[in-house]
Amino acid sequence: MNNLKGNQNLLTRRLQMIKQVTKEMQDTKLYAVFMISVMLAGIFSFFPVIASLSNNVTIRSSGTIAAISPLHVEGRYIKDSSGDTIYLRGVNKAEFTDYPGSVWMGQGVRDYASWTQRRNDVITELDAMKSWGVNCIRCHQAVDHWKYNIGGHRQIIKEFLDLAAQKGMYVIYDGYSVRNYFNGSDQDPLPYPPYQTSRNASEVIADEDAFVDYWVSVASELKDYPNVIFELWNEPYGDEQAKQSWFNVSQRCINAIRGTGATQLIIFQWRMGCWVNLNFPPPNNPGSTLDWIFETNLTDPLGNLVYSTHIYRCYGAFHHSLPERWNAWEYDEIKKAFQYMMFDNVTAKCPLLIGEIGADLAYTGEELQRELIAFNNTLFIFNEWGIHYTAFWWRNIGIFRLLEYGEPWVPPPTASGQILINALKSQE
């Protein structure tokens, strides 16, 4: 299946980056027993560590959106037109890279005609997201869908923005691949030559200028939608030359987007994610921190820049070099890791969005419990520090699924999905 292949590509690249080896697939019988226990006992009573942490939670305003409003940045905060602070928190929906109308549970949406037929089902899914407390949906995009308007993609995106706005939701339009899945998609490190990896990608984006032109086109058509947010590219990475190229091209994109009259937030990322070795933290071991934010020197005439990174425990985000420990899961150690990664320094100065965060449900037994505890503790810290996040992913397949296997519309949450619900609800 296309989405599973996409997940495998993502796993391969992350494993290469930090040289981690993931666990074997879960024993289904043990996992079923675990899941039943969670559903019957409740996630917080099942894990004592989670329960004790929840007692210390500080409830703060989540910036719940009553009516959709344009957003802007004021210092470290994202605010709406009334001056209220908004915390963007929700889920990832990656399948716009596969089909022009994405994939929706139950029956897929492939083109504009079927989008029209399935519109009520799309609304049902948005209602389910809303019931979780979601106010932001991060959507991966394929450039060729937009550039060639494959399957009426441009109109679909506009209608999707309208539907999301009616639910009080913001949508992150996130560049992910140059080609869509059926035209040779890959997770391109950068969207222009010589960094592309999608098949025949240079036919779509021939050079840096063409990528800037792509964002001019997107911004020109979507600038009147107050709930859209522009993310230049998902997980851009490479060597020092690629880094400088990306910084320069991103500045050109920001200038070009503003030149269209678009005022929406623009999200910028470098590297695939963050990780540190807790036994040998920076500066002894460089890890992957947010130091690049202080090197970018990006400027926005409107000051509406948001910086982003991704965090996955299973890829070594809170890594120990001691084999008996492997990856940390305790609250204090995760917070220490974030401090090593410079999260506290960044959030004191500008908005930080964790574009992807998830729990790997391929673990079994005690390690699965630790993964879920770590996920809960991580979201707890994000809520504490006023960090924005979108969990990966709103789907009922794959190791990071937030929804259970099965056909019900919409399936119930996994254990990780329930943790996300609890984190979102605690901020309402």
The encoded tokens of residue 23 equal: 């666990």
C-alpha–C-alpha distance, residues 73 and 69, integer Å: 13
Q: How far apart are CA 57 and CA 77, in angstroms?
A: 21
Taking Cα atoms as reference points, which of 328, 384, 326, 325 lies closest to residue 352?
A: 384
- 18, 202, 282 from 381: Cα distances, Å: 23, 41, 21
Q: What is the pLDDT of residue 152?
A: 96
DSSP bridge partners of 310: 356
- What averages of pLDDT result for each successive group of 10 residues across the chain (428 residues)? 42 40 33 35 35 30 60 98 97 95 81 87 94 98 98 97 97 97 94 97 98 98 98 97 98 98 98 93 88 94 98 93 82 96 96 98 96 98 98 96 84 96 94
pLDDT in the model for residue 18? 36
- The CATH number assigned to the domain with range 2-425 reads 3.20.20.80
Task: Give the pLDDT of residue 10.
Answer: 43
Rounded to whole angstroms, the Cα distance separating 231 from 222 reads: 13
Domain ranges in the chain are 2-425
Residue with tokens 């409740």: 42
Give the predicted TM-score (pTM) of the model: 0.86
Nearest-10 Cα torsion for 154, 267, 6, 364? -140
What pLDDT score was predicted for residue 304? 98
So what's the pLDDT on residue 53?
33
Question: Residue 286: its pLDDT value, please?
Answer: 78
Which pLDDT belongs to residue 35? 38
Structure tokens at 229: 């947010």
